[in-house]
Amino acid sequence: MAGGDSLRHATPAVSGTPGNPMERDEVEKKALNLLEPVLGASKARELIDAVRHIEGVEDVRAMRPLLTV
């Protein structure tokens, strides 16, 4: 600056980066916001729930209807 002073600013890691990971509910909320306009509210919630319980899905092809518009 004109008087010789200087300013500094350090930005912490933004949400969703390895230094500041998002919580599960934040990820699901973000996914819903992105999926809902494309798939509709009901189908988007079903897909998020299916992914949340993916270990119980015996045949991933059963999820195909949730991925189509």
Q: What helix, strand, coil percent values describe the chain, rounded to 5?
A: 55, 5, 40
SS3 62: helix
Q: What is the pLDDT of residues 46-63, one digit of tens each?
A: 999 999 999 998 999 989
User: What is the pTM assigned to this prediction?
Assistant: 0.73
Q: For residues 69 and 17, what is the distance between their CA atoms, to the nearest angstrom?
A: 30
Delimit the domains of the chain by residue range.
24-67
Average pLDDT of the chain, as a whole number? 92
At residue 38, what are phi and psi to the nearest 5 degrees?
-90, -50
Mean pLDDT of 37-44: 96
SS3 51: helix
